[in-house]
Amino acid sequence: MDITGILLIIATTLFFPGIIIRIKSILSGRKGPGIFQPLKDIWRLFRKGAVYSETSSLIFQIAPAIYFSSVLAAISFIPFGDSPGLISFKWDFVCFAYVLALGKFFMIISSLDTGSSFEGMGASREALYSMLVEPAFFILMGSFALLTGYESFFEIFRSLHFGSYVSYAVGVLAAFVIVIIAMTENSRMPVDDPKTHLELTMVHEVMILDNSGFDLGLILYAANLKFAMYGALIANFFLTPGKEWFYSIPIFIGVQILFAMTVGIIESFMARFRMNHNPQFIFAVTSISLLIFLGVLFVTGKFIAA
Amino acid sequence: MIKHIRIKNNSTVSLWDIPLLNYEDLLEQSISLLQDESCHCVNYFGYPHRDQLILICCIANDREHLITISSSVINFNSVLPSFTHHHLAFHLFEREIHENFGIKYSDHPWLKPVRYPFSRADKNSRIENYPFYAIESEEVHEVGVGPIHAGIIEPGHFRFICDGEQILHLEIQLGYQHRGTEQLFLKKNNLLQRTHFAESIAGDTVAGHTTAFVNLWESLCNYDAEDHLQFSRTLALELERIAIHTGDLSALCTDIAYQLGSAVFGRLRTPVINYFQRWCGNRLGKGLIRAGKNNYPFTKQLGDPLKRLFDEYERDFIEMYDEFKTLPSVLARLEKTGTVTKEQAASIGTVGMAAKMSGIPRDIRVSHPHDWYERMNHEPVIKHYGDVYSRTQIRKEEILQSIEIIRNMIKSIPPENKKRKELSFPAPDLFGISLVEGWRGEICHCAITGENGNLVHYKVKDPSFHNWLALALAVRNNEISDFPVCNKSFNLSYCGHDL
Q: pLDDT for B182-211, tens place per residue?
A: 888 888 888 888 999 999 998 889 999 999
d(CA B73, nearest CA chain A) in Å: 47
Q: Do A274 and B151 touch (CB under 8 A)?
A: no
Q: B86-95, B143-152, B386-395: lowest mean pLDDT where?
A: B143-152
B134 shares contact with chain A (CB less than 8 Å): no
Q: Which residues of A touch B (CB under 8 A)?
A: 24, 27-30, 117-118, 120-121, 189-190, 193, 195-201, 267-277
- pLDDT for residue B241 is more than 90: yes
- For residue B166, the chain A residue with the least C-alpha distance is A276
- Looking at the predicted structure, is the pLDDT value of residue A83 above 90? no
pLDDT value, residue A192:
84
Which residue type does B493 have? S
pLDDT value of position B249: 93
Q: How far is CA B224 from CA A77, A134, B7, B10, B418, in A?
A: 82, 73, 16, 10, 15
Distance from CA of A283 to the nearest CA of B (A): 18
The larger pLDDT score, comparing residue B421 to residue A61, is at: A61
Which chain A residue lies closest to B265 (C-alpha atoms)? A28
Mean per-residue pLDDT, A2-20: 88
Please give the average per-residue pLDDT across B103-127, as a whole number: 86
Q: Looking at the complex, does the CB of residue B480 fall below 8 Å from at least one CB of chain A?
A: yes
Query: Residue B438 corresponds to which amino acid?
Result: G
According to CATH, the topology of domain B5-127 is: Beta Polymerase; domain 2 (3.30.460)
Interface check for B293 against chain A (CB to CB < 8 A): the answer is no
Chain B CB contacts of A30 below 8 Å: 263
pLDDT for B19: 86
B245-271 pLDDT tens trace = 999 999 999 988 898 999 999 999 999
Give yes or no for a contact between B213 and B151, defined as CB atoms under 8 angstroms apart.
no
**Whether the predicted pLDDT of B496 surpasses 70:** yes
CB-nearest to A201 from B253, B337, B484 is: B484
- Where in chain A are the domains? 4-305
Task: Report residue B7's pLDDT band, with 50, 70 and 90 as the boundaries.
Answer: confident
Say whether A29 and B142 touch across the interface (CB within 8 A).
no
Chain B residues within an 8 Å CB radius of A190 = 329
Q: What percent of chain A has pLDDT over 70?
A: 94
**Residue B10 pLDDT exceeds 60:** yes
| pLDDT at residue A104 in the model | 92
pLDDT tens digits, A18-31? 999 999 999 988 88
Selected for mutation to probe chain B from A197, A274, A280 (highest B CB count within 10 Å) is: A274
For the residues A20-43, what does the mean pLDDT come to?
91
Position A73 pLDDT exceeds 90: yes
Q: State percent of chain B over pLDDT 70.
A: 100
Closest-CA residue in chain B for A191?
Answer: B257
The predicted model gives B16-26 an average pLDDT of 85
pLDDT digits (tens, 9 = 90+) for A156-168: 887 776 555 666 7
Residues of B in contact with A199 (CB under 8 A): 145, 150
Closest chain A residue to the Cα of B257, Cα to Cα? A271
Residues of A in contact with B332 (CB under 8 A): 271, 273-274, 277
Q: Determine the residue of chain A that is closest to B141 in CA distance.
A: A117
pLDDT at B2: 62
Give the mean pLDDT of chain B. 89
Among candidates B458, B6, B13, which has minimal Cα distance to B222?
B13
Round to whole Å and give the CA distance between A259 and A191: 17
Are residues A268 and B255, on separate chains, in Cβ contact within 8 Å?
no
CA B171 to chain centre: 20
Q: In chain B, whose CA is at the least distance from the CA of A277? A: B332
Residues of A in contact with B254 (CB under 8 A): 196
Cβ neighbours of B119 (radius 10 Å): 10
Nearest by Cα to B48 from B493, B456, B326: B456
Which one, of A128, A269, A185, lies nearest residue B481 by Cα?
Answer: A128
CA distance A194 to chain B (A): 9
- Residues 331-390, chain B, touching A (beta carbon < 8 A): 332-333, 337
Whether residues B327 and A197 touch (CB distance < 8 A) is answered with no
What is the pLDDT at residue A243? 64
Give me the mean pLDDT over the B75-79 stretch.
85
Range(s) for CATH 1.10.645.10 in chain B?
A: 181-461
Compute CA distances A296 → A166, A287, B319, B442, whole Å: 8, 14, 46, 65
Q: What is the 3-state secondary structure (H, E, C) of chain A?
A: CCCHHHHHHHHHHHHHHHHHHHHHHHHCCCCCCCCCHHHHHHHHHHCCCCCCCCCCCHHHHHHHHHHHHHHHHHHCCCCECCECCCCCCCCHHHHHHHHHHHHHHHHHHHHHHCCCHHHHHHHHHHHHHHHHHHHHHHHHHHHHHHHHCCCCHHHHHHCCCCCCHHHHHHHHHHHHHHHHHHHHHCCCCCCCCCCCCCHHHCCHHHHCCCCCHHHHHHHHHHHHHHHHHHHHHHHHHHCCCCCCHHHHHHHHHHHHHHHHHHHHHHHHHCCCCCHHHHHHHHHHHHHHHHHHHHHHHHHHCHHHHC
| pLDDT the model gives residue A1 | 52
Name the minimum distance, in Å, from the CA of A35 to any CA of chain B: 19
Partners of residue A27 in chain B, C-beta under 8 Å: 259-260
CB contact under 8 A, B481 and A274: yes
**pLDDT per residue as tens digits for the range A96-131:** 999 999 999 999 999 999 988 888 888 988 899 989
Of B143, B329, B332, the CB nearest to A121: B143
- For the ranges A23-37, A130-144, B117-131, the lowest mean pLDDT is seen at B117-131
Q: What is the mean predicted confidence (pLDDT) over A245-260?
A: 86
Contact A196 B145 (CB under 8 A): no
The CATH architecture that domain B181-461 belongs to is Orthogonal Bundle (1.10)
**A306 has a pLDDT exceeding 60:** no
For the segment B412-439, the average pLDDT, to the nearest whole number, is: 86
For residue B384, the distance in angstroms to the closest alpha carbon of chain A comes to 23
Confidence of residue A303 (pLDDT cuts 50, 70, 90): low
Which pLDDT value is given to residue A240? 63
Q: Which residues in chain B are classed under CATH 3.30.460.80?
A: 5-127
Q: Helices A165-185 & A245-269, crossing angle to 10 degrees?
A: 60
Residue B125 has pLDDT above 60, yes or no: yes
Question: Which of the two residues, B250 and A251, has the higher pLDDT score?
Answer: B250
Contact, B436 vs B233, CB < 8 A? no
At A161 the pLDDT is 62
Tell me whether 0.90 is exceeded by the ipTM. no
In whole angstroms, give the CA distance from residue B83 to residue B86. 6
Q: Which residues of A touch B253 (CB under 8 A)?
A: 271
